[in-house]
Chains A and B, each alone.
Chain A
Amino acid sequence: MRATSTRERPTTGSWSLRVPALIGIAFVVVPLLALLARTDWPQLGTHLSSPVVGQSLRLSAVTTSATMVLVWLLGTPLAWLLARSDHPLTAWARAVITVPLVLPPVVGGVALLMAWGRRGVVGGPLEAWFGISVPFTTLAVVMAELFVALPFYVVSVEGAMRGLDRRVDQVAATLGAGPVRTFVHVVVPLVLPGIAAGSALAWARALGEFGATITFAGSFPGRTQTAPLGVYAALEQDPDAALALSVVMLAVSVLVLGGLRSRWLR
């Protein structure tokens, strides 16, 4: 809250800056509004209660939750090692982890098939020795989501961790805290805003995951058909259900991002 009524003169008061800015914002807002405008609001409840919608939303909730747990467990230590290690391989590791950021998700799905498919590098022996087959399972959905979401989290959290004063962990070490205690009790609490921001990005990416999932996990209602796949499947058969599902995803995304922003992101 501002106590005074003095306002600074903006340094952006030119139409040659405002016009592109307004076009930019309109480009994003118009499709979102169109989605809302075309939604069959009176029948929204009916559409949402259709089994396809419920199943895919539930599956998305379950898989993205599982993905986030894995993202936290694997990504947080990884980000910390990348932030602090000066090993020559670190630069390579940092480059490799960012590849899925720029890779088309479908290519990611193909890569996952090559690795974890029944004839894949890892999946082949897994199937032959243990009879475990990964594709077409909910686990495959989680793996596809993890593949695309983890880099977002790691990159964001590593940035926050690098911004952490190196002397903080040095002091913690001299106080008798080993690497794990320093990480859990000092580093993680201090970069919590960065972790929240990274989680929001990663979660949004996992929720929206389509290409890698449909390629690697296929599409089966209740098992591998997540909300985006549900939207895609329903779009041609039952466009109103697809719109209803889209509106729900939009609302959930806005709520989660908004909640995170007010709490953590500034």
Chain B
Amino acid sequence: MVRLVGLLAAASLTLAACTRDAAQPDNADEPQDALTLTVLAASSLTDVLEPVVDTFEVDHPGLTVRASFAASSTIVQQVNEGAPADVVALAGEASLEPLEEDRRDGPVSLFATNQLEIAVPVDNPGGVADLDDLAAGELTLVVCAEQVPCGQATARLLAQEGLEPPIASYESDVRATLTKVELGEADAGLVYRSDVAAAGDRVAGVEIPEDRNVVNRYPALAVSDRELAQAFVDHLLAERVQARLREAGFGPAPER
């Protein structure tokens, strides 16, 4: 019994040690509430948000921003169920609808746009050259599930273009969709332009012309009444953040 407990403790410590190696220095001994801001953000923001967080921390010495990434729909659901959060940043306005009124503590700020792009494996085994190739059949095509913004955008795109390609799988979020392409399991995936950019040379992108594409607008808002929460939302519109977003493949904040 004692040995069993010892074994489990050792296993847990090993896991803990691994995470500590991989992540930033541990902040466990700092006071939590006052100096920590929790941001829940859409999966598609995973790569771009980290430098944004860094600049915000530099502007507010002593502050730690914890960013967690998930499907937009999941984030809204978690916030509705009472998950502790200060800011949410989502990948589509539709995802925002289920967010309950009493969790909204600030105005919605649209800070970026994103468009769809076709991600294909580097060697492009399906020979995908444009949007119409997707419907040609024979391709293993993965898309986002309809409850997440990229899935809604995909549905809009396919409907608008009158395309009904065979779909292999509805992945739970945009990152899962991209991963299936990266691994070569899918011949093509419909993801955001920013995701193709973030994946670097692990996937290739096939652009969808502006006039056939759909635009997703990214909303952010404070979900706690802390001043820093609203400050973070405003920070997303700062010029250097906008530049960083454009660099990452996002479109500019839409005119209000």
A–B contact via C-beta, under 8 angstroms = yes
User: A219 on the interface (CB 8 Å rule)?
Assistant: yes
Taking CB as reference atom, which chain A residue is nearest B142? Answer: A218
**Are A117 and B172 in touch, CB under 8 angstroms?**
no
Contacts of A218 in B (CB 8 A): 142, 168-171, 180
User: B147 on the interface (CB 8 Å rule)?
Assistant: yes
User: B77 on the interface (CB 8 Å rule)?
Assistant: yes
Taking CB as reference atom, which chain A residue is nearest B177? Answer: A218
Chain A nearest Cβ from B122, distance in angstroms: 12
User: B9 on the interface (CB 8 Å rule)?
Assistant: no
Contacts of A225 in B (CB 8 A): 170
Q: A224-B169, A233-B145 are in contact. Are A135 and B77 (CB under 8 A)?
A: no
Interface 1/0s, chain B 182-193, versus A by CB < 8 A? Answer: 011110000000
- Bound together, the chains give a CA A258 to CA B183 distance in angstroms of 42
Interface 1/0s, chain A 220-236, versus B by CB < 8 A? Answer: 11001100000011011
Chain A nearest Cβ from B173, distance in angstroms: 11
**Are B185 and A135 in touch, CB under 8 angstroms?**
yes
Chain A nearest Cβ from B11, distance in angstroms: 9
- Bound together, the chains give a CA A107 to CA B152 distance in angstroms of 29
Taking CB as reference atom, which chain B residue is nearest A239? Answer: B77
Determine which of B74, B142, B184 lies in contact with A117 in the assembled complex, contact meaning CB atoms within 8 Å: B184
**Are B172 and A219 in touch, CB under 8 angstroms?**
yes
User: A113 on the interface (CB 8 Å rule)?
Assistant: yes
Residue of B73, B77, B147, B171 with most partner-chain A CB within 10 A: B147
Taking CB as reference atom, which chain A residue is nearest B75? Answer: A236
**Are A219 and B73 in touch, CB under 8 angstroms?**
no
**Are A236 and B147 in touch, CB under 8 angstroms?**
yes
**Are A237 and B73 in touch, CB under 8 angstroms?**
yes
**Are B147 and A237 in touch, CB under 8 angstroms?**
yes
Q: A233-B145, A237-B146 are in contact. Are A219 and B171 (CB under 8 A)?
A: yes
Number of A residues whose C-beta is below 8 Å from B?
20
- Bound together, the chains give a CA A135 to CA B74 distance in angstroms of 25
User: A47 on the interface (CB 8 Å rule)?
Assistant: no
**Are A219 and B169 in touch, CB under 8 angstroms?**
yes
User: A94 on the interface (CB 8 Å rule)?
Assistant: no
**Are B77 and A236 in touch, CB under 8 angstroms?**
yes
Chain B nearest Cβ from A126, distance in angstroms: 13
Q: Within A108-161, which residues are at the interface with B (CB < 8 Å)?
A: 113, 117-119, 133, 135-136
Contacts of A206 in B (CB 8 A): none
User: B167 on the interface (CB 8 Å rule)?
Assistant: yes
Contacts of B185 in A (CB 8 A): 113, 117-119, 135-136
Q: Within B127-172, which residues are at the interface with A (CB < 8 Å)?
A: 140, 142, 145-147, 167-172
Contacts of B71 in A (CB 8 A): 236
- Bound together, the chains give a CA A225 to CA B147 distance in angstroms of 15
Contacts of A214 in B (CB 8 A): 172, 176
Chain A nearest Cβ from B98, distance in angstroms: 8
Chain A nearest Cβ from B162, distance in angstroms: 21
- Bound together, the chains give a CA A220 to CA B141 distance in angstroms of 11
- Bound together, the chains give a CA A214 to CA B170 distance in angstroms of 10
Contacts of B176 in A (CB 8 A): 214
Chain B nearest Cβ from A12, distance in angstroms: 19
Determine which of B74, B183, B184 lies in contact with A236 in the assembled complex, contact meaning CB atoms within 8 Å: B74
- Bound together, the chains give a CA A118 to CA B185 distance in angstroms of 5
Contacts of A135 in B (CB 8 A): 140, 168, 185
Contacts of A219 in B (CB 8 A): 145, 169-172
- Bound together, the chains give a CA A235 to CA B70 distance in angstroms of 15
Contacts of A119 in B (CB 8 A): 183-185
**Are B184 and A118 in touch, CB under 8 angstroms?**
yes
**What is A's interface to B at a CB cutoff of 8 Å?**
113, 117-119, 133, 135-136, 214, 217-221, 224-225, 232-233, 235-237
10 residue pairs, one from A and one from B, having the closest CB atoms: A218-B169, A136-B168, A236-B73, A119-B184, A236-B147, A237-B147, A135-B185, A136-B169, A219-B170, A220-B169
23 contacts between A and B (CB under 8 A): A113-B183, A119-B185, A133-B140, A136-B142, A136-B169, A136-B186, A214-B176, A218-B169, A218-B170, A218-B171, A218-B180, A220-B168, A220-B169, A220-B170, A225-B170, A233-B145, A233-B147, A233-B172, A235-B77, A236-B77, A236-B147, A237-B146, A237-B147
Given A119-B185, A136-B186, 4 other A-B residues pairs in contact with their CB atoms under 8 A: A217-B169, A219-B170, A232-B172, A233-B172
